[in-house]
Structure 1
Amino acid sequence: MKFAFAVYQVQHKYNNGTVRDEDADVLTYLQQKGLPIEKVVWDNPNIQWTHYKAVILKAPWDYHEKYSKFISWLDQLQNLGIPVWNEVDIVKWNSDKHYLADIAQKGLPVIPTRYIHQLDEVTESWFEGSDKWVIKPCISAGAKNTLLFEVAQWPEIASHLESWLKEEPYMLQPYVKEIQSGEWSLLYFGGKYSHSLLKTPKDADFRVQHYLGGKVDYRTASSNLIQQAQRYIDTFASNTLYARVDGVLINEVFHLMELELIEPYLFINGEESRLEAYYQAVLSKCPFLSGNE
């Protein structure tokens, strides 16, 4: 039986700004290592999932656009007893950004976050401490409906938000000026640090995603930064196949922006050491693969 390498039906909007096809790089490397694995679009209705030994989530990048369907699919795999990496329960938890509150409750630094379920919950006191704020959906990816605004613009923002809240809750965070110096991304495979990079927004923007014009600079994080990021992995993602810890340094203290456990771009960039680290993490999940069963 083969393994499924779950991706989405390519829309290219999430690939802009990338030179290499990371999914193809990873899949080819795993196949060259002798793993019986093939690419499968996660929401293809013609797939017989019982034909697969396990499912590796790689790039279901449109899950937030088909959220109910995605959750139902995960439930289906779980009910069929098919292993999924990352595991279904942690993927569900990570799919809604209310998870940031769970992390903050453990005492780990997180960008302060408030959740908006109804517009009348928001009061003037919410905007104390910052002149600029960011709102985005609690279930989202790719900077969907992510807006930066000044407090004076709130009435205009609220007019949009009133209709958006009919579909889903939103989150409100203070704008962190440190983002202009760069957002760190640290990649972990099998709970172990692999590599890191610094992402900076293009001029006159605050979003660092590479497909929105952000710049990617591969850098080795300091040992102190790696240790700080490791705390999030050890507390919430120690049993994951892959994880990406995104955040900024504020007075040398790492503050989490997102803990990516579903479909993070891994920034492997064709480097064999990173591909090997990913492969070893797969083996750790399923040791019998080393025998190419």
Structure 2
Amino acid sequence: MRVAFVTTSDLDAIHDDVDLPLQIVAFANAGIDLVQAAWEDESVAWDSFDLVVVRSPWNYVKRLNAFRKWLGDRRGLTTFHNPVELIEWNIDKRYLADLAHQGVPIVPTAFVDSIEEFHSAAQSFGSAEIVVKPSVSAGSRLTGRYLKTDRAAEVLASEILAKGLTTMVQPFAARIDAEGEIGTVLFDGMISHSFNKAALLAEGGQLVGGEYQEQITSVQTPDDVLVVVDAAASAATEVARGAGWISKDQQLLYGRYDVVRLDDGSPALLEAELFEPCFFLPIDVDAADRFVGAVLRRLSA
């Protein structure tokens, strides 16, 4: 059995991949031939693998048009997980509106395409601070937290719009400074593990500690957060089934659902990462084996 992990030839983008060492061992122990294949490598015969996991093409934002073309050229390949069409939907965070339409509680979000819309959206939120970011982004790129009165927020929104991207505006959930966010990873529709990620964004468009650094710790996930995770996972799965991207009885191979608490204490979905998420496998000693188990079930189906 041959499985490909879609990655990148940009070594700077993947230098801190905490999952890969554990996955290499787990796949080897299961007798699976695991191949790391860069999406930029035109010599790769993607249809020669029994399964392809879109895992760490973490430079895609820098080469968005090329990556989208690469994805589009592989539509219909049933060995890709998650399916290409789902990734094309999930790559733009406007998918949050689709999930909200299905009843998933999300962080209030306005998607704007002009500075006028930006100003209107910023003033519509009751919070003193807002978060500004592109609808297509990763690693807090072009993302900032600002007071609504800070002109730097408008400058960032203008920069995003000038790149031809939709700008997202959200109220800053102040509890994240003390509580962080909770990420929950599902393999084949079943919860594997959860983790807490400390706040990344500091005031005035800065990063906590002055650089992008993810601080991950173990967490006992509260029941109300799990309710949001279940709602989001179910809604995303139904989107995929309804569009014919997966069969009616199939689950998504993997997904990560990040939840924060709003100022009133209620949990809300911040993001549903259905391609290229870091699973933070070191947080749970059995997590890598659970992922291999999900892959094996696909290979034997």
TM-score by length of structure 1 reads 0.86
Q: Which residue of 2 aligns with 1:157?
A: 153
In structure 2, the CA distance between the partners of 1:270 and 1:182, relative to structure 1 (3 Å rule), is: closer
In structure 2, the CA distance between the partners of 1:6 and 1:126, relative to structure 1 (3 Å rule), is: same
Q: Is the Cα contact below 8 Å between 1:27 and 1:38 reproduced in 2?
A: no
5 Å matches for 1:58-97? 58-79=55-76, 81-97=77-93
Q: Is the Cα contact below 8 Å between 1:183 and 1:208 reproduced in 2?
A: no
Q: 1:249 aligns with which of 238, 261, 271?
A: 261
Q: Which residue of 1 aligns with 2:140?
A: 143
- What fraction of aligned residue pairs are identical, expressed as a percent? 24
5 Å matches for 1:227-266? 227-237=227-237, 239-250=251-262, 251-266=264-279
Q: 1:172 aligns with which of 153, 166, 169?
A: 169
Q: Is the Cα contact below 8 Å between 1:207 and 1:214 reproduced in 2?
A: no
In structure 2, the CA distance between the partners of 1:261 and 1:149, relative to structure 1 (3 Å rule), is: same
Q: Which residue of 1 aligns with 2:185?
A: 187
Q: Which residue of 1 aligns with 2:5?
A: 5
Secondary structure at the counterpart of residue 269 of structure 1: helix
Gaps of 5+ in 2: 239-250
Are 1:30 and 2:42 counterparts? Answer: no
Q: Which residue of 2 aligns with 1:273?
A: 286
Between the aligned partners of 1:278 and 1:187, the Cα distance in structure 2 is 10
Gaps of 5+ in 1: 289-293
Q: Is the Cα contact below 8 Å between 2:118 and 2:157 reproduced in 1?
A: no
TM-score by length of structure 2 reads 0.84
Between the aligned partners of 2:283 and 2:214, the Cα distance in structure 1 is 20
Secondary structure at the counterpart of residue 73 of structure 1: helix
Q: CA deviation at 1:226?
A: 2.2
Between the aligned partners of 1:24 and 1:145, the Cα distance in structure 2 is 30
Q: CA deviation at 1:121?
A: 2.4
Q: Which residue of 1 aligns with 2:245?
A: none
Secondary structure at the counterpart of residue 198 of structure 1: strand
Q: Is the Cα contact below 8 Å between 1:249 and 1:255 reproduced in 2?
A: yes
Q: CA deviation at 1:125?
A: 6.0
Residue by residue over 1:185-212, the C-alpha shift from the partner in whole angstroms, topping out at 9 and shown as x without a partner, is 1111111001111111269568689x72
Between the aligned partners of 2:128 and 2:75, the Cα distance in structure 1 is 45
Q: Is the Cα contact below 8 Å between 1:110 and 1:255 reproduced in 2?
A: yes
Aligned residue pairs, count: 282
In structure 2, the CA distance between the partners of 1:203 and 1:95, relative to structure 1 (3 Å rule), is: closer
Of residues 92-101 and 65-74 in structure 1, the stretch that sits farther from structure 2 once superposed is 65-74
Aligned AA (1:173)? Q
In structure 2, the CA distance between the partners of 1:204 and 1:229, relative to structure 1 (3 Å rule), is: same
Residue by residue over 1:26-69, the C-alpha shift from the partner in whole angstroms, topping out at 9 and shown as x without a partner, is 13311220113211112112223233233111111111221222
Aligned AA (1:37)? L
Q: CA deviation at 1:13?
A: 5.5
Between the aligned partners of 1:93 and 1:203, the Cα distance in structure 2 is 26
Aligned AA (1:197)? F
Aligned AA (2:48)? H
Q: Is the Cα contact below 8 Å between 1:94 and 1:261 reproduced in 2?
A: yes
Of residues 231-240 and 134-143 in structure 1, the stretch that sits farther from structure 2 once superposed is 231-240
RMSD between superposed Cα atoms in Å: 2.5
In structure 2, the CA distance between the partners of 1:164 and 1:223, relative to structure 1 (3 Å rule), is: closer
Secondary structure at the counterpart of residue 140 of structure 1: coil
Q: CA deviation at 1:9?
A: 2.5
Are 1:110 and 2:106 counterparts? Answer: yes
